[in-house]
Amino acid sequence: MLKPNPIHLIHVKPACEQCRVRELCLPTNLKSQDLSLMDKLVVRREPLAKGEFLYRAGEKFKGIYAIQDGAVKTYGLTVDGREQVTGFHISGEVFGLDAIDGEVHPCNAVALEKTEVCQIPFAKLEELSMEVPELLHNLSRIMSREIMREQHVLLMLGGTSAEQRIARFLLNMSQRYADQKLVSDRFRLCMSRQDISNYLGLALETVSRQFSQFQERGLIDIQNRYVQIKQFSLLKQVAQ
């Protein structure tokens, strides 16, 4: 089996059928013919560079987004103009669902590293959902999952110490890599300490200190943004 010209692969993203994270995304369980209908909807853009915005708060809503590769941060602005991170999204995850109701994006989405996203125009997706029951169900499930995700954030934040929050945060990231069948005990944090602290409602310094402390205790190994979880059971215990 010869593959003489790999060049065409450089910018063209894999179709849904070949996509690595297909099982986490909208096309799960779709029959082959429906999959290709779905595939036709998807708008695949050039990869986003780090720091590039996918959309900004106030922009008109066109469609929802799925990440093929990379990571995106979404954040809103509080009334006093402060930035509040509402989520980190990695490959296989779908986001932008918060804009469906108002048809305007209520928050900003920015790439944390080089990122490949698929845009799925929502009006067309709704149309196709009327034809394909599995797709309708997948859409419901993905939205439900997003609601649960945010509830988990509340559980993570609720009435807990900085130590617990950070332990839970690390375990949560780890789990999400595991969901993708990637190594889950060694990964690169795609966001800055600043972003983590903002997300967890802590000071940047507290996050840094806690990482150092976990390292001293032998729970993790952390070099800049590279983390290795060395003692899962102990870390879980810390997280309670």
Query: Where along the sequence are the contacts to a second copy (CB under 8 A)?
Result: 76, 78-80, 82, 84-86, 97-102, 106-107, 122, 126, 129-130, 133, 136-137, 139-148, 150-151, 153-155, 157-160, 198, 201, 236, 239-240
Residue closer to a second copy, measured from CB, 143 or 234: 143
Residue closer to DNA, measured from CB, 40 or 225: 225
Question: Closest approach of Cβ 10 to DNA, in Å?
Answer: 21
Nearest to residue 176, comparing CAs of 76, 56, 95, 64? 95
Question: Closest approach of Cβ 34 to DNA, in Å?
Answer: 41
Nearest to residue 214, comparing CAs of 180, 179, 178, 238? 238
Residue closer to a second copy, measured from CB, 157 or 222: 157
List the Cα angle 60/63/69 in 5-degree steps: 120
Nearest to residue 168, comparing CAs of 157, 178, 179, 177? 157
| Dihedral pair phi/psi, residue 79, rounded to 5° | -55, -35
| DSSP run (H or E) holding 34 | helix 32-41
Pattern 193-212, binding to DNA, x per CB under 7 A? Answer: xx------xxxxxxxxx-xx
Residue closer to a second copy, measured from CB, 153 or 234: 153
